[in-house]
A and B are shown apart, each in its own frame.
Chain A
Amino acid sequence: MPIVIAPINVDLKIVRIATDEKTKKHLESLGVSLNGEVTVLSSSGGTVVVKIKDGRLALDSSISTKIFVA
């Protein structure tokens, strides 16, 4: 499911990143990579705040709908 509708405070695994190459590279360097672990901290109106590795990232709806987790 896209991370935008993922449950809060649950360990998730990233299975697909469906953005353009440049954004994907940037996401990867921020820790959002395939097979990576992620936890959603808060989610409202399409924007999500996720915990990745030990950092916090804010992603807007244009990104949060394109990252798929399981």
Chain B
Amino acid sequence: MKRFALAGNPNCGKTTLFNSLTGSTAHVGNWPGVTVDKKTGTYKKCAEPIEIVDLPGIYSLSPYTPEEVIARNYILDESPDCVINIVDATNLERNLYLTTQIAEIDVPMVIALNMMDEVEKAGDKIDEALLSSRLGVPVVKISALKETGLKELMEEAYAASLKGRQGKTVLEESALAHLVGDVKIALKGQGVKDPLFHAVKLVENDSIETEMHKETVPMIDEFKATFEDDVFGGDFEALVADARYKYISKHFAPALSKKKTEKFSMSRSDKADKVMTHKIWGIPIFLLILFAIFHLTFSEDFLYLGKIFSLPSLEELGLLTAEGEPLNYGVRWLACLYDGAIFSPGVIINNIWNNMLVGELFGWLGGLVEGSSMAPWAVGLINNGIFDGVASVLSFLPPILVLFLFFSILEDSGYMARIAFILDRMFRRFGLSGRAFMPMIMGFGCSVPAMINTRTLADEKERAATVRVIPFFSCGAKLPILTAVAGAIVAYFGVGNADVITFLMYLLGIVTAIVAVLLMRNTTLKGETPPFIMELPAYHAPQFKNLMAHLWDKTKHFVKKAFTIILASTIVIWLLTHFSFAWKFLEDEAINESILAGISQLVQPIFTPLGFGSQLGQYGWVFVVAAVAGLIAKENVIATFATLASCLVAMANQNVGGLDIAAEEGIDAVQAMVLATGITVPALISFIAFNMTTIPCFAAVGTAKAELQDKKRFNGTLIFWLASSYVVSAAVYTIGMWWWTLFLWLAAAAAVTSFIILRNKRAKAKAV
């Protein structure tokens, strides 16, 4: 099968073209050794089926980011049968810079002149015949969005692939022609493939090339020594770049005839940017958009209509039974959309999915299993181990999908680049660039996609620091822990307000993240924040088809990762809680005899400084069990609470009054545990803090491992999570119990800070 590669600048419509060409055959994999998506698909409407490879978006073949290395190596080493170079016609000169470089490689190529519809809309014209004759390769006008010209493009590419092509450089006309020609002949003598391309790159002093052709470098330096130039003073790389642009504007630019307009007329995009990236208003506008996204995804009172019009709840409408259950099937559907307030779209989708579809399905399946004549342990394993695991993964899908959808809209419309831009100055103070913001905010939804999203960061160390703090932005699965424990604190001790506690815990996570980033960027992950250079693509309306393709890509990724890990972990947890060391099957209520309980009792003393260790006495291990179960997946924490509480009640014969231990929110279960263990409020808060800042879940651990590559850095990350959660929780507990310890913590923090500053100063002095 023939292989065609798509190459082009970021934001030139490459992905849209790829989706249009390959349709449902698209397949996402990874490039060997790196975590950059490799998209391949098949185009079937040619004489023979053609494999299409979507290369990462690149600005040049002199690599700056890992993506550019991949694209360059693919074209050079894998010799595709044809390179389809997509050129954004609205930014012709800049895009042709890459074109002139690809043209130097001995590979067939075709130029797809994309976004022609926009050029024509602006009243401009491009003479593709002129362009084609000057470049020496076929040029086809297309619109990837409207899917016009695609067939012609592929026909041309197919024809080109049959012919083969010799590399050609635009430097032939410049003063450098001689130099390049000499180097090319030398390389050709050595039997190097694509001699012209390597010759030009060697003249440019490209670091990869000088590394690759070490023995040739001295000779080239000799050649260069004879070359004289006043303007550039021996800076060959600038010289080459200048020669390229000169050639482009002299020979190619005439192909573009612009409608006469005012010199500095602002495009609509520029006008929008006057507001969106405004010095003062930029950030408030952004916060408003962010708030709207979270409101649409998570709010149970859409536009606050319920509050404003004080709408009646289902109970007040008499639609619930005495037990608080919906009266009939219709009301159950209604309950997905409304209860005293209209839910936001995200919540409605979530309710329908979880309550009606997934809930029904697994309820039915569970009933089938229970009704069968299987052994009790098998029923337990299938129902509580496997089905609950699958259901919990599925229950995550709606919020993640909705959040992804909104982020894809931001991305496709071009606003995401502006967000990075307006936040950059603020983030720089913490040693991160503005691009780190998006992954962090996605962490509030789920750490897994957030960590995947760190791929946009160019610097490895910055990326590692970002991956590490993402879990501190409390994800959706941690919210139930917060509401349950905070609810129990309010209900049992009668202190505070559950919403305020929840909010403060979120804040604690963010503060921890900031402190951790500052600490890491000044110690183990030291490094300059890379300079901020970002293209601001013109705003345009996101395309439905593209959004769906994006969404499908990301969902597939999440489901694959999460499914295997969460499913496996729920089964493991179930085994650990339902079998004793003697490998005897235990009922739910006998969890105290389980393997997990045994382990937890053993490690309990470690948690004493955090407030939920030895001081809780006989039953104190329950919190440890919940926390350990939480290392695997945070939804385990509340589920474990319910089991543990019922077990405690059975064991201790406690009178729990009117508490409904099995209630889903877990508030009552926590209260029962408070009753049994006598745990204090600071210890409960410390327990939340621990869960928020420790190892997030197996799914996130797996993702972090894949994203970080470096094994040492990954191990460091695990230690970092454990250490930070231990320190944060210990601080919360001790300060909560004995307020004066605050001064000890502050003193310790000051000591650490001054130590680091002094050490860095000394290191700097040494370096100078």
Chain A residues within 8 Å of B, Cβ to Cβ: 9, 17, 19, 21-31, 33-36, 39, 41-42, 44-47, 49, 52-60, 62-63
| Residue B225 CB within 8 A of the other chain | no
Q: How far is the CA of A65 from the CA of B145 in the complex (A)?
A: 39
| Residue B369 CB within 8 A of the other chain | no
- Is there contact, CB below 8 Å, between B94 and A54? yes
Q: How far is the CA of A61 from the CA of B241 in the complex (A)?
A: 24
B96-110 at interface with A (beta carbon < 8 Å): 97-98
Q: How far is the CA of A29 from the CA of B242 in the complex (A)?
A: 11
Contact with A along B223-240 (1 / 0, CB 8 A): 000000001100101100
Residues in B neighbouring A60, C-beta threshold 8 A: 424-425, 428, 531-533
**What 9 A-B pairs are tightest by C-beta distance, nearest first?**
A29-B60, A60-B532, A29-B59, A28-B241, A26-B64, A53-B94, A54-B91, A56-B536, A53-B93
How many of chain B's residues touch chain A, expressed as a range?
A: 35 or more
| Residue B388 CB within 8 A of the other chain | no
By secondary structure, the A interface counts as mixed
Chain B residues within 8 Å of A, Cβ to Cβ: 59-60, 62, 64, 90-94, 97-98, 205-207, 231-232, 235, 237-238, 241-242, 245-246, 264, 269-270, 273-274, 277, 279, 417, 421, 424-425, 428, 531-538
- Is there contact, CB below 8 Å, between A19 and B531? yes
Nearest B residue (CB) for A16 = B238
For residue B7, give the distance in angstroms from its CB to the closest CB of chain A: 13
- Is there contact, CB below 8 Å, between A39 and B532? no
- Is there contact, CB below 8 Å, between B94 and A52? yes
Q: How far is the CA of A20 from the CA of B516 in the complex (A)?
A: 29
Please name 18 pairs of A and B residues whose Cβ atoms are closer than 8 Å in the assembled complex, sorted by A: A9-B264, A25-B64, A25-B237, A26-B60, A29-B64, A29-B241, A30-B59, A30-B94, A33-B238, A33-B241, A35-B245, A41-B270, A42-B273, A47-B532, A53-B93, A58-B533, A60-B425, A63-B533
Residues in A neighbouring B425, C-beta threshold 8 A: 45-47, 60
Q: How far is the CA of A53 from the CA of B273 in the complex (A)?
A: 18
- Given A22-B64, A36-B245, A60-B425, answer yes or no on A31-B97 (Cβ-Cβ < 8 Å): yes
For residue A58, give the distance in angstroms from its CB to the closest CB of chain B: 5
For residue A57, give the distance in angstroms from its CB to the closest CB of chain B: 6
Nearest B residue (CB) for A39 = B264
For residue A25, give the distance in angstroms from its CB to the closest CB of chain B: 5
Q: How far is the CA of A34 from the CA of B237 in the complex (A)?
A: 10
Q: How far is the CA of A45 from the CA of B90 in the complex (A)?
A: 30
Q: Which of A26, A31, A44 contacts B94 (CB 8 A)?
A: A31
Residues in B neighbouring A56, C-beta threshold 8 A: 269-270, 273, 535-538
- Is there contact, CB below 8 Å, between B277 and A57? no
Q: How far is the CA of A58 from the CA of B3 in the complex (A)?
A: 36
Residues in B neighbouring A54, C-beta threshold 8 A: 90-94
For residue B170, give the distance in angstroms from its CB to the closest CB of chain A: 14
Residues in A neighbouring B417, C-beta threshold 8 A: 58
- Is there contact, CB below 8 Å, between A59 and B241? no
- Given A25-B60, A49-B536, answer yes or no on A62-B98 (Cβ-Cβ < 8 Å): no
- Is there contact, CB below 8 Å, between B279 and A45? yes
Nearest B residue (CB) for A46 = B425
Residues in B neighbouring A34, C-beta threshold 8 A: 231-232, 235, 238, 241-242
Nearest A residue (CB) for B536 = A56
For residue A27, give the distance in angstroms from its CB to the closest CB of chain B: 7
- Is there contact, CB below 8 Å, between B277 and A42? yes
Nearest B residue (CB) for A63 = B531
Residues in B neighbouring A42, C-beta threshold 8 A: 273-274, 277
Q: Which of A19, A21, A45, A57 contacts B535 (CB 8 A)?
A: A57
Q: How far is the CA of A9 from the CA of B262 in the complex (A)?
A: 12
Residues in A neighbouring B535, C-beta threshold 8 A: 30, 55-58
Q: How far is the CA of A44 from the CA of B278 in the complex (A)?
A: 9
Q: How far is the CA of A42 from the CA of B59 in the complex (A)?
A: 24
For residue A31, give the distance in angstroms from its CB to the closest CB of chain B: 4
For residue B646, give the distance in angstroms from its CB to the closest CB of chain A: 57
Q: Which of B92, B238, B279, B533 contacts A57 (CB 8 A)?
A: B533
Given contacts A29-B98, A55-B536, A58-B417, 11 further A-B contacts (CB under 8 A): A21-B207, A24-B238, A25-B206, A26-B64, A31-B94, A35-B245, A39-B264, A47-B424, A56-B538, A57-B536, A62-B531
